[in-house]
Structure formats: C-alpha cells, structure tokens
Amino acid sequence: MPTKKPTRKSRILDASLMVTTSVFLVSLAFLAAITLSGTSSGTGLGAASYAGAPVDAAPESKPQGLPGQTPVTEAPSVTTVRPSNETMPPANKAAGILVFVIDDVGHNTWQLQPFLDLPFPVTLSVLPGLPLTRESSAMVRKAGKELMLHQPMEALNGLDPGPGAIRADMDDDIIRQTLRQNLAQVAGAAGMNNHMGSKATSDSRVMSTILDETAAAGIYFLDSLTVGDSVVHSVASLMRQSTWERTVFLDNTPDKASIMHYIAEGTKTAEKRGYAIMIGHVWSAQLAQTLADLYPSLVEQGFSLSTISRIMMDADDDDDSGD
C-alpha cells in the first residue's frame, strides 16, 4: 500500500513540536545544572537566610594564611568586645586622681633625673643624712616637683633603716630633735613618709610624737604601710589630724609588666575612692619610662595626676567656697 505523502501543514506542525521539545529539554538541563552548582558551593537558596545576619557574624571567606604557612581550613571564632561603663570613664567626669610618690632619693642624682623630667606632677621623697640629700632636694625644688622627707624608722626585722632613723626606744625629745634635723636637710618638704618603720608605726607613743611634730611643722604624714597593724590612722584620729595611706607599691617586682599591673590596681582604687597613692622607688630601672609611656593613656581615660598637698589645697578651697 503506498505511503501517504505528508502534507505541507503537517510538516510545519511536526517541526514546531520538535523545536518546542528541544527548548524544554535544554531549559530543564540548564536549571538542573544551576541547582547542582548551588548545592556544591554552599550558596543558592540557603544564602537568602544569611542576608539579614549581623555584621559580626562568621566571616564571608576563610583566611588563607600567610605565605609559607598551611592555609587555614576553618575560620577562627571571633569575639566582638564592646566598651562598657566599667571600662570607660563617665562622660565629662574625672575618673580619679593619681598620686605617684618616688622613695629612696638621695643616693645619687642620675637615677633621680628621669623622674624630674616627667611631664606631670610627681612627689620625690628624699632620705636624710646622705651625701646628696641636700643637692637632691634642691634639684626636686628646681624642677617644680613636690618634695617629701623619707624618714627612716625602726623596722621589726632589725634591718638598719639608715642615718637619721627614729627608733622605738627613743624618748619624745630625741624623736622631735631627730625630725627637726632631718627636715632641715630637706628644706621645703611638703610632707614626710616612713622609710621601713614597721616597728615604729606600730607604736602609739612614737607615732603620737611624730604626728604632733609634723602638725607643728605644717606638713602632712603619709603612712607607707610597711606593716598591716600600723597605728598611724588610729592615733591621728584621736589627735583629730588627717593622715594619708599608701594604696599600692609599684615595684616590689621591678619589671614593666608588674609595674603596669599595680598601676592598674591603683586606677581601680582611684575610680572608687576618688584618689590613689602609689609608691615606687628611684632605683627602679623601668619605672620612670613606664610612667611616661602610660601618661597619655591615663589622661585619656579621665585620670588626673597630682600631689597630696594639691589635693589638700583643693579640699580647703572647696570648704572655703561653702555658704
């Protein structure tokens, strides 16, 4: 039976159907390729849920490491630290007053000079009876720093506190005479603190005589607190006098890390109490430079650096300004 020859109309329909089918198959293959690519790369539909993630979420790409290092295959965890009220000083409010006292001045002048060069107030406490006591005192005055007598006193451990020391077995007249002689060597001293003195500062009679003498001389007394059971504060209270106490020693371990640790302790006290008195020593090799390095940061945090006599003067001014 002869094959029926397709008409022109049927040939056009068949061609149209083939084209449509081909386009459909190509589109289907293209969509499948996109889906497989998105699944293997970790993007695709899953990325839409990350579009609104916070800025400090996981990094977009993994670190590749430095040249010569094995590339990092897992991104490290990231902790975003934001300032809190505990780490930042209150706005427009001073964080506290820091007083730096440097003991044991008088043995030489080369250790003293770096502290005189510091660009902020500092108190230098000079030992009596040394060859350079008077010269060191004059250098401190000329530099405009606060001068203090570093009064040697008897210690519980029996160590020799040095020339001009006050001992617990001295009678009151000898104590007064010794103090006057020592103050004459450190002319212009605004105050005094004890060098050693754990035995003397534990003796009420000795301290009442010393505090009576400092009051007569118009100078303040700073207790270096070389012993836990010091009676200085209690005796002063009975005598209705004000005394001061050391907050921290800066350089019992005279390395920079320890110094910075104790300065940080002092700043915490200043934030709570309003001031902190920190005692270091002139022989501490890294102390002066550490203080110079930290000064801009301390000011930026809101701390002011001052002296005990300046604090006392400001307190008197506040009292006088009352109604």
Q: Whole-model pTM?
A: 0.71
The per-residue pLDDT string of the chain (323 residues; one tens digit each, 9 = 90 and over) reads 444 445 444 444 454 445 444 545 444 444 444 444 443 343 332 333 222 223 222 332 333 333 333 333 333 322 223 333 333 334 345 899 999 999 999 999 999 999 999 999 999 999 999 999 999 999 999 999 999 999 999 999 999 999 999 999 999 999 999 999 999 999 999 999 999 999 999 999 999 999 999 999 999 999 999 999 999 999 999 999 999 999 999 999 999 999 999 999 999 999 999 999 999 999 999 999 999 999 999 999 999 999 999 999 988 777 665 54
CB 198 within 8 A of CB 156: yes
- CATH numbers and ranges of domains, the chain: 96-320 (3.20.20.370)
